[in-house]
Amino acid sequence: MNWRKPSYAPVQVSLCYQSPLPIDNHEIAGGVRLEAYRMNLLAMNKKGDQLFVACGEHIFLFEYSERQRPVFQKELSIAPDTINMIKYAELATTGPILVAACGNPVVETGAAVIYFLDVATASLVGQERVVFNMSCSVWGISVCERNGLIALSSNDHCISMIRICLENEWGSQNRFFIVPSACRGHQHNIPSIDFSTNGRFIASVSIDETLRVWDLSTGQSIGFSEGCRVGREEDKWGWSVKWLSLDSVKILEKDDPLYSYIFETTNTTFIQPLLYNEEEHLSSEAFRRRRRRQSLQNDEQLQSIPQILLHSDSLLTDESEQGALSLLLQEIGLSSQQIQAMKEESRNDKLLVFTQKNFLHLLRGGDLHQLVFLPQVSPLNYSGSLMRRGMFRLNFVDYAPELSLLAVGNQGIGTVSLCRLVRNRSGEFRIIIEDVIPQQTAAVEDEQVPLAGLYFKKGNCYSKFCPYYQLVLVHLNGLVQVYEIERRTETNPLDISSCLL
């Protein structure tokens, strides 16, 4: 059997279906209206048959099928405040949970709500949810499933830590631990945070224009980077952050037909969408001529935009906070194996994605060195109301590691850019915008429908040699869209065993 040598090819994207959310008892004229100016109001379970959507203080659970309209199942207990974000996770002690970040920025009250989705676990806890009242609005959520830590970022400019310990860890008494202000150093609100795989590191981005990395095994802030200092002040705010495994980034070999263009014929790392047909791909000379013209325009644009400012050696630790983190890690139920796994985890085999208003940065996790900078991820369209323009920001990021594909959503415009990450054997990285999922148009002409949630779901017919994902989107008008995304068979499978939970 002759095996065709793997080469670069873009993923295939197709719309599976779109449908309004079926919430009959909460529909108003024109359909469901989700809350504006929130983070991600969409979550799914790992099996992919349950979909959660937050609307105001409500969370609705739907039965999900890859080919059919979601079916309404039930409503979870009402949250104490407007929900800014929801996150699904499966912990060893508590089973499946859903965490909701809540808050009212007008009067500055906030709360974190943990819903226990398994009946047996809920009976152990004694209730189906636990509410942690906070001093101000909570926005970011990250959960490390390997050690059960839950991180929350809020408008007090700090990151708090929660851990739930049940009777199999502490005997008959259930215990809930919260360490407020565990990570302190940001000078403004923190919209997004993300744990590394074993929970040793947590990355955070803030309206203070910085990305910071924290080492929870020592309680120290081990470095930060400042975003681009261009444009208006709000253009520099940090909106989302995500850790990626180096193993999940596709390697492009030198004998690939597109290698010379991607790594040699351009000096920039800003590459426009690769929208070409198979004949043009095989006839690379015509492809290169068309791409070279765009590359010259990109060079001129990049020269006017400063590179990111790095401060990887700065320590911003408040000594008083180290004691709180030490208590969290050593005295509230983390096993010695979990603590050891945290201490052994390294940043050298990881990458960080950091977004601002319409900027995308790819950083090396070890020293926060900038690898790629894209000054324009989404095609900007400033039509529509002033409210929609205020939501023009890249605050949705999810990653399909088997596809080496990053989905980056601009909330106000309602578009999602599918960005392919590639690298060569010499350690150079590139990001290629392979496709842009267009915005939805409202009844009002030229009015975009902003995004309310984004999630990458592994398809039911997934296989190692033909990875298949679904990209699930929900808009503020309650419209759900599902796109099928798969990699062509001529691309080689990625070994991502080291980056999966």
Tell whether the model's pLDDT for residue 203 goes beyond 90.
yes
Please tell me which residue, 432 or 8, carries the higher pLDDT value: 432
Secondary structure E strands in 11-108: 12-20, 42-44, 50-55, 58-63, 71-75, 83-91, 95-104
41-75, pLDDT tens digit by residue?
999 999 999 999 999 999 999 999 887 889 999 99
φ, ψ dihedrals at 235, nearest 5°: -70, -20
Q: Say whether 212 sits in a helix, a strand or coil.
A: strand
Q: Which helix (H) or strand (E) holds 383?
A: none
340-364, pLDDT tens digit by residue?
888 889 999 999 999 988 889 999 9
Neighbour count for residue 46 (Cβ, 10 Å): 14
Give start and end residues of each alpha helix (H) in 214-283. 259-263, 278-282
Share of the chain above pLDDT 90, in %: 36
The overall average pLDDT reported for the chain is: 77
Please tell me which residue, 89 or 285, carries the higher pLDDT value: 89
Q: Say whether 341 sits in a helix, a strand or coil.
A: helix
Neighbour count for residue 63 (Cβ, 10 Å): 12
pLDDT at site 304: 32
pLDDT at site 380: 65
Rounded Cα gap, residues 225 and 312, in angstroms: 7
Share of the chain above pLDDT 70, in %: 72
Tell whether the model's pLDDT for residue 408 goes beyond 50.
yes
Q: What is the homologous superfamily of the domain 12-499 according to CATH?
A: YVTN repeat-like/Quinoprotein amine dehydrogenase (2.130.10.10)
Please tell me which residue, 288 or 110, carries the higher pLDDT value: 110
pTM of this prediction exceeds 0.75: yes
Domains of the chain, residue spans: 12-499
Rounded Cα gap, residues 215 and 373, in angstroms: 25
pLDDT at site 27: 45
CA distances from 40 to 6, 75, 99 (A): 36, 18, 12
In the block, tokens 């009242």 appear at: 133
pLDDT at site 84: 96
